[in-house]
Amino acid sequence: MSTMTSMDIVSDQGEGESPPRREPATQPAKSVSQQLVEGDFLDLLFDKVDAGELQLTGEGGFIPTMIKAVLERGLQVELAQHLGYDKGDRAGRGSPNVRNGSTPKTIQSEVGPLGLEIPRDRAGSFDPRLVPKGSRRVGGGLDEMIISLYAGGMTVRDIESHLARTLGVEISRETISKITETILEEVKAWQTRALDPFYPIVYVDALVVKVKDDAHVVNKAAHIVIGVDLDGIKHVLGIWVQTNEGANFWASVMAELANRGVKDVLIACCDGLVGLPEAIEATFPRTVVQTCVVHLIRASLRYVSYVDRKAMAAQLRKVYGAVNADTAQMALLALGETELGKKYPAAVAVWERAWERFTPFLAFPPAVRKVIYTTNSIESLNFQLRKIIKNRGHFPSDDAVVKLLWLAIRDIEDKRARERAKGPVKHRSPETAARAARSGGTATAGWKQALNALTMSYPDRFPTGVL
């Protein structure tokens, strides 16, 4: 079955007839659409459809062909603006950056898959906005609404009911599920993207989720890794789902981070994850592995009755607030000899067992201690993610867990970016807020002071040109 372009329709009006008057570019789209409806365009179009000369949808259909043509023309305009000259323009002669062919790319749209030719420049600096790099979908409408509802924590069943109730649209659960699965390619691209070679601080924490495994529903840990870059901006580096923590699992995670470009990490903050410290030290031998102090406090207070918690917290402050490891050990021994320590020996034992991983904290100045004191930077994110996943009984697969968490993280970061656009936080400089907005991450409070202290402690570890 043949296809037809807009030029075919115009040529049917006769060569002697003058072309229709072109309206100004500022004319509302609704007005242009009305002219097409009232004119002969649709009559000619449907005559060809009725005659079997043209199909509207499907592969080679008129609508996908028109969308493809519009997108490719728009991409060429974007490239011309990026290079500073049009194709064939003599102004481009001798330019350091020129056109360099195109790359085929298939994207999903509401009318089906579209095969596009994405233009390239020789310098590789062209980043189209019409079809962004890494994007596998174009358009919005109902698909975007479904994905947004899914990212907000609604199940497929909930979305089906919501659309029927609010819009009167009947969409099957299978269709809704397929729409949400279209972003899996984006998730995989994000999970395998290149990372910075150097992160001063990395945080690791986990969420417990229920996942269907054969005929059973089991608890699994969704581990989230956040890296703080040299500007103090926090980025989610990846999400990994595993039933049980262990040396082999963490070795594979660390190897993946290394393969994605990470060369060095100064400090890794984590909380009692089995096998993680050893895996970090094996992959990044010079990294200091630091146990989260707040987690130690919580773990020890778990053994203390409510009436004694305030007094126990005050005694523990003498331990983690000590000027060095020797002073902290003396404070812990003194606590064990007090009436409170004898009443709750299990609370003291928590610190004794974690002593080797806790003491690196005491070697840092106050500015750095403030940043690594807790994994709250990642826990605040986990808190928002827990609100989203609490409505679900269980997930059908590990991929479904990563898909929802990725969508949720994307929405959370977009929300934070909108909030930052309203103005920088009082304790944060406008420059830091701007960098965070551009990167999609969040800024670390007190980072300048911490960075200064870290450069003094590790002068040979920072990349060349940073200091």
Q: Are residues 96 and 149 in the same domain?
A: no
Q: pLDDT tens digit string along 7-62?
A: 343 334 444 444 444 444 445 555 666 766 666 777 777 777 788 777 777 777 88
Q: What is the pLDDT of residue 322?
A: 93
The arithmetic mean of pLDDT across residues 120-141, rounded, is 77
pLDDT single digits (tens) 409-422: 888 877 766 666 66
> What is the number of domains present in the chain?
3
Single residue among 373, 393, 413 that ends a domain in this structure: 373
Say whether both 33 and 101 belong to one domain: yes
Range of the domain at 152: 141-182
Q: Tens digit of pLDDT for each residue in 377-406? A: 666 787 888 888 877 778 888 888 888 899
Phi-psi region of 139 (alpha: psi -120 to 50; beta: other; left: phi over 0): left
**Which residue among 163, 182, 201 closes a domain?**
182
Q: What is the largest CA-CA distance in the chain?
A: 105
- 362-380 residue pLDDT tens: 999 988 998 888 666 666 7
> Do 366 and 325 share a domain, yes or no?
yes
**Residue range 236-248: mean pLDDT, rounded:** 82
Q: What is the pLDDT of residue 66?
A: 83
- Report the helix count and the strand count for the chain, using DSSP H and E: 21, 8
Give residue 352's pLDDT. 93
* Residue 437: per-residue pLDDT: 45
* Structure tokens belonging to residue 273: 């994850």
Last residue of a domain, one of 165, 182, 199: 182
* Angle in degrees, CA 120, 129, 149, rounded to 5: 135
Residue 6's pLDDT is 41
The residue ranking higher by pLDDT, 312 or 60, is 312
115 domain residue, yes or no: yes
The reply to whether 102 and 67 lie within a common domain is yes
DSSP state of 21: P
Which of 125-129, 204-208, 390-394, 452-456 bottoms out in mean pLDDT, i.e. has the lowest? Answer: 390-394
Q: Is the pLDDT of residue 295 over 50?
A: yes
Mean pLDDT of 94-113: 83
Mean per-residue pLDDT of the chain: 81
Residue 298 domain-assigned?
A: yes
pLDDT score of 36? 64
| Cα–Cα dist 347/203, whole Å | 25
pTM over 0.75: no
